[in-house]
C-alpha cells in the first residue's frame, strides 16, 4: 500500500513529460500498436472536437486522506495544491453563467479544502441542475469535523458519487488501505439513513467501481447487480447506480503497471478492447476540467498530464465558453482507456 505520493517521493514518473514519453513511445512508436489519433481517424473523429458543454468539473485540490494505489491524481495527505477562495470566486462566476447542466467537484478529497463548504453553499445558490461531489466516503469518518458531511450534503441537495472498489473487505483495503472498507460501509449507512441512495429518493448516491489491478472493468450492469445484492444482504446498504470506470495508464496507476510488469499487456488490452462506438461520447466532448489553480483542461486526466486545452482560453480568468468550445481536444495513448469496451468516463460507460 502506498503511503506517499510519487511527487513527495521525488519519483521520475511524477513528471508529466516522463509519463507522456512512455505513452507515446514503446509499442506505439515501434508501430506494434496504433496511435490513438490514427485509430479515431479511421472513423473520422480526428481531430476530436467538443459537442455542447454539459459538465463543468472542478478539481479543488490534490490533498486527500487516502493514498490509493491506482490514483491518477497522485493525491495524498502530502499534496499541497489547494484551490484558494479567490479562484473559487472566479469559478462561481463561471458556474452562474455556464450553459452546463452539471457541476462536478472532485479532488483529492474535495472536503479537505478549507473553503469547501463555503464553495458548496455559494455554488448551490446558482441553481445548477445536477451538483455532484465526489466523496471517497472514508473522509466522512476520518475526523469529527467531517462527521456532519452527510447532513451538509443533504442540505444542499448534493449528488454524492463515491468510490467503492469491491463489496468485499479484502479487495477494497488492498487498493485503498487498511480499514477503508469498514469506514466506507459506515459512511454509506449514514448516507442511507439520511435518504441518500434509497429507492425513489431524490438524494442521489452513486458508486464508482474501478478495478483493483491491471485489468479492465467487466459489464457495468452485471457489476451493479452484484454490488447491490452483496451490499444489501451483508450491510443493508442501498445506492442508485454503479459506474464502472477504467483505470487510465497515468500517474500512480502507470507506476504500478510498470513496476508490476503489466504495462505492455494492459496497453494491449486497452487497444484490443477499443470500441469505435464509444468515441463519439467520450467525456472530453461534453466536459471541461478546471484545476485548483484555474487552468482549463479537456479532462481530469489531461489535467494530471498538464496538457492544457488547445484554446486561447486556457485559464478561467479569460473564460469564454463559446470560444473554449471551439477547440481540438488533446489526445494521447491514455485516451484508449476511455474507449475500451463499453467506454469509460466519470459518469460510467459511454457506448450507446
Partner 1 sequence: MADSYYDPKDLRKFGKITEWSEDLGNKFFDYYGKVFEEGALSAREKSLIALAVSHVVKCPYCIDAYTKDGLQKGITKEEMMEAVHVGAAIESGATLVHGVQMMNKYDKLSM
CB of 21 to partner 1, least distance (A): 23
170 vs 276, which CB is nearer to partner 1? 170
CB of 245 to partner 1, least distance (A): 13
147 vs 268, which CB is nearer to partner 1? 268
The C-alpha cell that represents 283 in the structure block: 467525456
What backbone torsions phi and psi does residue 50 show, to the nearest 5 degrees?
-70, 155
How far is C-alpha 19 from the geometric centre of its chain's CA atoms?
Answer: 18
Task: Report the alpha-carbon distance of residue 164 to residue 177 in Å, rounded.
Answer: 12
Cα–Cα distances (Å) from 247 to 11, 78, 212, 267, 281, in that order, read 20, 22, 9, 11, 18
Question: Beta 296-297 vs 287-290: how paired, if at all?
Answer: antiparallel
Task: Report the alpha-carbon distance of residue 245 to residue 267 in Å, rounded.
Answer: 16
CB of 74 to partner 1, least distance (A): 24
32 vs 148, which CB is nearer to partner 1? 32
Interface residues with partner 1 (CB under 8 A) are 166-168, 170-171, 209, 211, 213, 215-219, 222-223, 226-227, 268, 272
118 vs 268, which CB is nearer to partner 1? 268
CB of 219 to partner 1, least distance (A): 7
Task: Report the alpha-carbon distance of residue 46 to residue 106 in Å, rounded.
Answer: 29
CB of 222 to partner 1, least distance (A): 7
CB of 214 to partner 1, least distance (A): 8
CB of 221 to partner 1, least distance (A): 10
Question: Helix or strand or coil: residue 3?
Answer: coil
How many other C-beta atoms are found inside a 10 Å radius of the C-beta of residue 167?
Answer: 23
The C-alpha cell that represents 85 in the structure block: 477562495
217 vs 343, which CB is nearer to partner 1? 217
184 vs 291, which CB is nearer to partner 1? 184
Task: Report the alpha-carbon distance of residue 352 to residue 344 in Å, rounded.
Answer: 12
Selection from 48, 54, 29 nearest residue 278 by Cα: 48
DSSP 243-259: EE-PPPSSHHHHHHHHH
151 vs 219, which CB is nearer to partner 1? 219
Amino acid at each position: 500500500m502506498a503511503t506517499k505520493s510519487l511527487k513527495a517521493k521525488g519519483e521520475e514518473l511524477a513528471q508529466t513529460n516522463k509519463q507522456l514519453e512512455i505513452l507515446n513511445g514503446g509499442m506505439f512508436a515501434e508501430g506494434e500498436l496504433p496511435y490513438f489519433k490514427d485509430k479515431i481517424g479511421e472513423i473520422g473523429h480526428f481531430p476530436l472536437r467538443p459537442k455542447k458543454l454539459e459538465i463543468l468539473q472542478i478539481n479543488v485540490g490534490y490533498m486527500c486522506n487516502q493514498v490509493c494505489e491506482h490514483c491518477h491524481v497522485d493525491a495524498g495527505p502530502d499534496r499541497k495544491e489547494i484551490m484558494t477562495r479567490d479562484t473559487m470566486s472566479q469559478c462561481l462566476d463561471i458556474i452562474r453563467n455556464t450553459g452546463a447542466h452539471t457541476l462536478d467537484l472532485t479532488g483529492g478529497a474535495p472536503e479537505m479544502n478549507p473553503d469547501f463548504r463555503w464553495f458548496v453553499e455559494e455554488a448551490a445558490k446558482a441553481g445548477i441542475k445536477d451538483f455532484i461531489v465526489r466523496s471517497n466516503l472514508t473522509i466522512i469518518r476520518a475526523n469529527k469535523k467531517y462527521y456532519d458531511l452527510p447532513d451538509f450534503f443533504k442540505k444542499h441537495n448534493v449528488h454524492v458519487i463515491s468510490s467503492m472498489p469491491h463489496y468485499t473487505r479484502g479487495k477494497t483495503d488492498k487498493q485503498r488501505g487498511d480499514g477503508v472498507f469498514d469506514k466506507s460501509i459506515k459512511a454509506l449507512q449514514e448516507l442511507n439513513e439520511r435518504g441518500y441512495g434509497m429507492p425513489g429518493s431524490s438524494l442521489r448516491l452513486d458508486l464508482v467501481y474501478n478495478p483493483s489491478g491491471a485489468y479492465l472493468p467487466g459489464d457495468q450492469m452485471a457489476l451493479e447487480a452484484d454490488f447491490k445484492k452483496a451490499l444489501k444482504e451483508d450491510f443493508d446498504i442501498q445506492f442508485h447506480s454503479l459506474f464502472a470506470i477504467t483505470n487510465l495508464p497515468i500517474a500512480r496507476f502507470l507506476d504500478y503497471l510498470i513496476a508490476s510488469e503489466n504495462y505492455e499487456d494492459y496497453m494491449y488490452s486497452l487497444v484490443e478492447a477499443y470500441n469505435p462506438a464509444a468515441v463519439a461520447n467520450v467525456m472530453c466532448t461534453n466536459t471541461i476540467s478546471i484545476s485548483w489553480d484555474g487552468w482549463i483542461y479537456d479532462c481530469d486526466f489531461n489535467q494530471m498530464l498538464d496538457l492544457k486545452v488547445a484554446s486561447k482560453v486556457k485559464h478561467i480568468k479569460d473564460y469564454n465558453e463559446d470560444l473554449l468550445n471551439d477547440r481540438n481536444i488533446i489526445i494521447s495513448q491514455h485516451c484508449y482507456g476511455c474507449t475500451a469496451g463499453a467506454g469509460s468516463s466519470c459518469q460510467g460507460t459511454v457506448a450507446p
